[in-house]
Structure 1
Amino acid sequence: MLVLHVCSELFPLLKTGGLADVTGALPLALQELGADVRVLLPGFPAIRNGLVEEGVVAEFDTFAGPVRLLYGHLPDTHLGVYVIDAPSLYNRSGNPYMDPRQEPYSDNHLRFALLGYVGAELASGRDPFWRPEVVHGHDWHAGLLPAYLAARGRPAKSVFTIHNLAYQGVFAPHHFGELQLPGDFFSVEGVEFHGQISFLKAGLYYADHITTVSPTYAAEITTPEQGCGLDGLLRDRSGHLTGILNGVDPKVWNPDSDPLIGANYSVAKPQNKTRCKVALQEHTSLQSDVDAPLFAVVSRLTEQKGLHLVLELLPELVAAGGQFVLLGTGDPELERAFSAAGMRDPGQVSVQIGYDEAWSHSIMAAADVVLVPSRFEPCGLTQLYGLKYGALPLVRHVGGLADTVVDSTLEDIADNTATGFVFNDFDVNDLRRAMRRAFALWSKQKEWKAVRKNAMQQDFGWEASARSYYHLYERLLAH
């Protein structure tokens, strides 16, 4: 089985969010099941600099200009990677999607249409030595891939995965003529969305099968509340829509072997988690106090993540004896507000604006509670990392959070199934109640440690998820 994944980023070469963790782990997990997997990426500087390049596959002209298709492999793996070498489109410093003013690049429609176009080229035999049978696109950046395949008579089966329906890749209609798609593709039954071009809708409409990253989110996006205007199309295609939960790569996220944390520990020997907490407190302005429950946020700072609710409750958290650490970047107002909170109370609140992979591991190892109070959450990886590292997730009952965290009710604690704290309503009062339950459980350390043990024993590795994708590919190829 020959499978090509098409995406805009891949850990460890380039990461701006959870998408890179998925695309960095899933192809490798599929390889272990026997699939012949390769990945196609744009030639961003971080990708070119980190890849072990082996040579040029092809040179050809496209609607976006001449390109070279390079081939190499991911360091320390046998994962083959194609890279689109188009310097005028991709050789830009900083964020791969936005300019220094944090505005989307004006030519993003060309930069990411080209990604889908080259994916279709590979499916049509552009590499004479390797031709995929299944082409799997991720998020709106690869949304035109199924459309280009459809325009060519579907030379390969296509799978399109929604990692977040809210990000849709919408562009002005006058750009359609630049994309080299058949004219009738710009219609309601095609790429048109409220008079504009939607790359994400193209993926949903033309893909042979749609997946998203948790079973609950797969159901939620067929409703007006969570469908982002595409719920009607998703209901029409519900027979070709599957929710497959994301996983965690144990080679990257494992407290027993993680080189990025202060001390290694495991579910059988959890004592060193306290050393990680002390190390974080020493590294920051936080007071050295192992008895204070440490609440953590590692997240994009956006309204979706519910962090304005956390900000409102921060004074209560501190007054109750808790500590708080945050690592994230995003909305400027949230950045300023959290930074101000850190300056007001440096002994109890530590805030780092930005993203640092190593520091995220240190926080997860040190934290007692990881906060994920999202308005919506397709899957969420933060709560999975929290479970793995014994940082009990405090989450809203939505999307993948609902699929992965069991509330610490009296019954679930007694049954040894509790793994965290869950609230329902997207408001301060319900989050406050969940936070108080966390403090109450912290005061009963025997029960806390039992719940932490349950959490760390959960298995959210990639094997089961990869097997689900493998069987999906088999079904598509059989028909």
Structure 2
Amino acid sequence: MRILFATPETCDFVQVGGLAAVSAALPRALLPFSDIRIVVPGYPQVLRGLDDLKVVGRCAGYAGLPSFRIGLGHSTDGMPYYVVMCPELFERPGTPYGDARGIDWPDNDVRFATFSYAATKIAVGDADKNWSADLIHANDWQCALIPGYLEWSNRPLPTVFTIHNLAYQGVFSQDALPRLGIPDHAFHMDGVEFYDRLSFLKAGLVYSSHLTTVSQTYANEITTPEFGCGLEGILRKRADQNELSGILNGIDESWDPRTCTSLTRNFDAGDWRKRSQNAREIRRQFGLAVSRGPLFALVARLVHQKGVDLVIQNAKAIVDAGGQIIVTGKGEERFEQALRQVQIDHPGSVAVKIGFDDEEARRIFAGSDFTLMPSRFEPCGLSQMYAQRFGSLPIGHRTGGLAETILDGQTGFLFESPSSHGLLSSVCRAFSTFGARDRLDRMRRAAMGQAFSWTNPAKAYASLYQSAM
């Protein structure tokens, strides 16, 4: 099978969220089953990271979209990457989606419509005369116009569309339709119209051959009003037609505490003395006091979805009980400021670092006793898998992928209500377990023994591709 994997980010070059990790790992896991190539926008980080990048095609503008070039290069391990080269759209400072302040670019509709249109040109063989795809796998709203452009241009090609987070939909004014080349006849309730506006995500839901999301629990949840974000009707319809699947994400093999080069000291299950060296070092790096109490970690985007406010509300209780907290991440300014204040209120017991560094995150997982994941909803979540592999027991709300990957009382703790009290109830269970060394050791061993590889998800996707084709 020739598969084009379209994504707006990949941790090979640039990462904002968990999609980047999936977009680097899943295509590699699919290599035994397919000739798979990744297509990404030509951000500066991508252009710098591909030493062998060569232009293989040029495409004229379409409607109000600019012209662009298509480059082809390879990552250091040989993964083929197509790059949509359009300097005025993608060669900007900041993140893939906004400026350095985190404010979205005002022309994101044009940016990601151009990217989606370019992906279709590659897939049908118009961009690179030496390659075309049998199927496109598109990810999240930034790629969601891909199946739409194929439909509107009458270029039939199977598409699989993965919803990584339904809350981010790419909604724009109806005025954008003509400049994006979206026909008027597509703007209706069963097309791209969403409360009198244009929804990129809805195009993916309507026109794709098959929909997936990143856990079976989340696939069920998004067909309900509570989690459906106004799109539960169409999702329920696709589910009833057996066109919505949940395939749990995996994590790559680098998340192995025995070999990870980022750690202060490598360790194995049961080698708690070596693991404790990571705890001592991460406390020192973050300026925490020497302590015999438990160390709690929050490694997350600092947004409402992640339940950051619930951690803030319980911080004093954790510190008063003898615990310490390390927070690292970036997100909404209100949460960043509130967390800084918590650090000021509890010097030596709470440490906050605004920003994200992968190697540092690995050291935090390896040094902490518990990882806080009180997400209000969590399509899959990766941190709970990372934490378990490194012996940090996750504390999570029973939702989405957390419900599928945390075994309550065995490899972590789950609570039913996404509330301050719900989180505190599991934090109390964690303190009790920390004081019972045999039970703590058993849970750590069980957590570290969890298998979260990409092997089974890759087989599931390969089978789905065959069915869609």
Task: Give the TM bin, normalised by the shorter chain.
Answer: over 0.9
Q: How far, CA to CA, are the matches of 1:271 and 1:3 in structure 2?
A: 46
In structure 1, the residue matched to 2:274 is: 272
In structure 2, the residue matched to 1:217 is: 218
In structure 2, the residue matched to 1:395 is: 396
Structure 2 SS opposite 1:297: strand
Residue 129 of structure 1, CA deviation: 1.0
The TM-score with structure 1 as length reference comes to 0.95
Query: Which residues of 2 match residues 13-412 of structure 1 at below 5 A?
Result: 13-31=13-31, 33-63=32-62, 64-75=65-76, 77-126=77-126, 127-238=128-239, 239-251=242-254, 253-267=255-269, 269-289=271-291, 291-408=292-409
| Deviation sequence 1:267-320 (CA, Å, 0-9, x none) | 25343211100111111211122x211100000111111111110110010011
2:68 and 2:84 in contact (8 A); partners too = yes
In structure 2, which of residues 419, 439, 447 is the aligned counterpart of residue 447 of structure 1? 439
The aligned amino acid for 1:210 is L
In structure 2, the residue matched to 1:429 is: 421
| Deviation sequence 1:190-235 (CA, Å, 0-9, x none) | 1111111100010000000000000000000000000000000001
In structure 1, the residue matched to 2:12 is: 12
2:177 and 2:183 in contact (8 A); partners too = no
Q: How far, CA to CA, are the matches of 2:51 and 2:233 in structure 1?
A: 44
1:53 and 1:70 in contact (8 A); partners too = no
**221-230 or 280-289: bigger deviation:** 280-289
Structure 2 SS opposite 1:330: coil
Q: How far, CA to CA, are the matches of 1:28 and 1:21 in structure 2?
A: 11
Structure 2 SS opposite 1:111: helix
Residue 156 of structure 1, CA deviation: 2.0
Q: How far, CA to CA, are the matches of 1:448 and 1:101 in structure 2?
A: 42
The aligned amino acid for 2:5 is H
Q: How far, CA to CA, are the matches of 2:438 and 2:100 in structure 1?
A: 50
Q: How far, CA to CA, are the matches of 1:100 and 1:300 in structure 2?
A: 16
In structure 2, the residue matched to 1:415 is: none
Residue 361 of structure 1, CA deviation: 1.0
Q: How far, CA to CA, are the matches of 1:246 and 1:69 in structure 2?
A: 29
Unpaired segments ≥5 residues, structure 1: 409-417
Q: How far, CA to CA, are the matches of 2:144 and 2:417 in structure 1?
A: 33
**259-268 or 197-206: bigger deviation:** 259-268
Structure 2 SS opposite 1:237: helix
Q: How far, CA to CA, are the matches of 1:457 and 1:307 in structure 2?
A: 28
Residue 183 of structure 1, CA deviation: 2.5
Unpaired segments ≥5 residues, structure 2: none
The aligned amino acid for 1:122 is I
| Deviation sequence 1:236-289 (CA, Å, 0-9, x none) | 1112000000000013x2211111111111225343211100111111211122
The aligned amino acid for 1:21 is A
Q: How far, CA to CA, are the matches of 2:381 and 2:3 in structure 1?
A: 25
| Deviation sequence 1:403-422 (CA, Å, 0-9, x none) | 110111xxxxxxxxx11010
| Deviation sequence 1:345-364 (CA, Å, 0-9, x none) | 22111110111122111111
Q: How far, CA to CA, are the matches of 1:397 and 1:475 in structure 2?
A: 32
Q: How far, CA to CA, are the matches of 2:354 and 2:102 in structure 1?
A: 15
1:13 and 1:51 in contact (8 A); partners too = no
Residue 181 of structure 1, CA deviation: 2.7
The TM-score with structure 2 as length reference comes to 0.97
Residue 158 of structure 1, CA deviation: 0.1
Q: How far, CA to CA, are the matches of 1:249 and 1:328 in structure 2?
A: 21
| Deviation sequence 1:347-400 (CA, Å, 0-9, x none) | 111110111122111111111100000100000001010111110000000010
Q: How far, CA to CA, are the matches of 1:62 and 1:387 in structure 2?
A: 48
The aligned amino acid for 1:450 is R
Q: Structure 1 residues 438, 268: closer, same or farther in 2, change over 3 A?
A: closer
Structure 2 SS opposite 1:342: helix
The aligned amino acid for 2:283 is Q
Instruction: Name the % identity.
Output: 40
Structure 2 SS opposite 1:301: coil
| Deviation sequence 1:67-120 (CA, Å, 0-9, x none) | 110000112x22110001100001101112112443211110010001110111
Structure 2 SS opposite 1:377: coil
Q: Structure 1 residues 268, 131: closer, same or farther in 2, change over 3 A?
A: farther
Alpha carbon RMSD of aligned pairs, Å?
A: 1.1
Structure 1 SS opposite 2:256: coil
Residue 12 of structure 1, CA deviation: 2.3
Tell me the number of residue pairs that the alignment of Structure 1 and Structure 2 aligns: 464
In structure 1, the residue matched to 2:448 is: 456
2:221 and 2:400 in contact (8 A); partners too = yes
Structure 1 SS opposite 2:271: coil
